[in-house]
Amino acid sequence: MKKKVGIIGSGVSGLSASIRLSNMGYEVHVFEANEYPGGKLTSFKLGNYRFDAGPPLFTMPEYIDELFHLFNENPRDFFNYKKKEIICKYFWQDGKKLIAYADKDKFFDEVNSEFGVSNKILKKYLNKAKKKYDLTSDLFLKKSLHKLDTFLTVKTIKALSKLSIFEIGKTLSEVNEKSLKEPHLIQFYNRYATYNGSSPYSTPGIMTVIQHLESHYGTYIPDGGMHSITKSLYELAKRQGVIFNFNKFVSEIILKENRATGLVVDGRNLFFDRVISNMDVYPTYEKLLPKRKLPRNIKYQERSSSAIIFYWGISKKFDNLDLHNVFFSKDYRKEFDSIFNQKSVYGDPTIYVNITSKEIPTDSPENCENWFVMINTCEDNGQNWDLEVKKLRKIVLERLESMLGESVAPFIEEEKIFTPKTIEERTKSHKGSLYGTSSNGLFSAFLRHPNFSRKIKNLYFCGGSVHPGGGIPLCLLSAKITTELINKN
């Protein structure tokens, strides 16, 4: 008889875990409180405009393809994407602009032309980031940090022997300042701390691995938008016999003598050999394990940044924008101080604009565009978000119009707004934090909750709030780590 696994939540990590476990021969049941799969990775329509609700950046698509290869399926029969020639366009308030090309030589020439930084300096910087990644990817991203055998490998010993290259005693910003010196380029590379909801002035220098991933592997756009990732994985899971239960509320994880034995779903006790939570780990303990103490490191560890997101259907085309666009604040240090120390919405924020209709014309009517406009903020601590949104909307529109030299506000014909509170309500992410906990600190990677429980046998965790972290590639790796742990036990 097949062993049964119950998975709480159908985010991209939960979907991936269900697929991998099915391939390993388990009977898999997924329970989702919403009426749809995907967690943050969902889609909606406003009038004639389609929007991806959640993460807009797609890199390392091989981790998606790998799930199809498990069943000898050709992923191109079910899921397609194309590589972007332009990764992102960047705008500064002093009039400086930068096009981040996927082609490295073109990018180096662009940086040299715009900022006067030589190709040699940039190549040295990115080569060092690559070395960090090559030495640490198996340790930090592909295996459990919380199992001794992860550290008892030749590769780990080799990595530890070159500890100085990781620059863990410096912040990301300090590394960038020393290596690059040019202020615009420092801000450009400091931005990568936001990819895991952290501050470049606090997260350690090893985090230059993030910019290596984007510059080395590139960025992609899936056919049909980001939601097609969810759709294709959901359909793959169903083809392999995974049983999905939507609109099903899990109220408790059943424990018997320090062992997870099942779930209470809509008042019914359902029993499983293994349980995985793809929920944020904080509410997993707080709500589903009410008789267990919330682990101290989870209770007190700093939350990642959250966001206010404006979804705008705009009846105009902006030819100087691309799929990904960033409009920088004047004072980055003050912006992150506001987010992580002051716990307030900064008055001159960096603005990210994603426009999928640039690549998928059907996402908006002809000669129109769908704008996903995101501003990083602190997590929800009871702020008056209606007031914050009102103030921020005015600031954002004024900034965009000033930096683009074109009107935006008169062309907004559809609008929806998410706040940290909305994000928490939709995704059960504690306080609306986008990546669980921040990586602001030397030992932050080790402080993330492991993919298993040390005190409750047969209870496992996957997703952005546990090891190895947030973002689509890491969530997919989290599912891989978790399912391999289950298969060993």
Q: Are residues 291 and 308 in the same domain?
A: no
pLDDT tier at 355, thresholds 50, 70, 90: very high
Strand partners, 76: none
Q: Do 245 and 306 reside in the same domain of the chain?
A: no
**325 and 413 part of one domain:** yes
Residue 285 belongs to domain spanning:
4-45+57-72+226-295+449-488
List, for residues 306-328, the tens digit of each pLDDT value.
Answer: 999 999 999 999 999 999 999 99
Residue 140 has pLDDT above 50, yes or no: yes
- Domain assignment of residue 105, yes or no: no
Number of structural domains the chain divides into? 3
Any idea what the CATH number is for the domain that residue 250 is in? 3.50.50.60
If asked whether residues 341 and 423 sit together in one domain, one would say yes
The answer to whether residue 152 sits within a structural domain is: yes
Same domain, 471 and 421: no
Residues 274 and 249 in one domain: yes
| Residue 290, burial from CB neighbour count under 10 angstroms (0-12, 13-18, 19+) | exposed
State pLDDT tens for residues 58-106. 999 999 999 999 999 999 999 999 999 999 999 999 999 999 999 999 9
Measured distance CA(15)–CA(144) in Å, rounded = 19
Which of 171, 154, 110 minimizes the C-alpha distance to 340?
171
pTM of structure: 0.94
One domain for residues 461 and 355 = no
- The pLDDT confidence band at residue 210, using thresholds 50, 70 and 90, is confident
Quick one: 388 and 421 in the same domain?
Answer: yes
| Residue 249 is assigned to a structural domain of this protein | yes
Question: Has residue 445 got a pLDDT over 70?
Answer: no
Largest pairwise CA distance in the chain: 67
Mean pLDDT of 428-445: 83
Read off the pLDDT of residues 13-44 as tens digits, 9 standing for 90 and up. 999 999 999 999 999 999 999 999 999 999 99
**Amino acid making up residue 74:** N
Encoded tokens for 71: 């069943």
Residues 353 and 391 in one domain: yes
Q: Comparing 212 with 189, which gets the higher pLDDT? A: 189
CA 21 remoteness from chain centre: 23
* Distance, CA of 83 to CA of 115 (rounded, Å): 26
- Check whether residue 407 and residue 342 sit in a common domain: yes
The backbone torsions φ and ψ at residue 27, rounded to the nearest 5 degrees and listed phi first, read -90, 120
Whether 101 is covered by a domain: the verdict is no
Q: Is 100 contained in some domain?
A: no
Angle CA 445–155–140, to nearest 5:
15
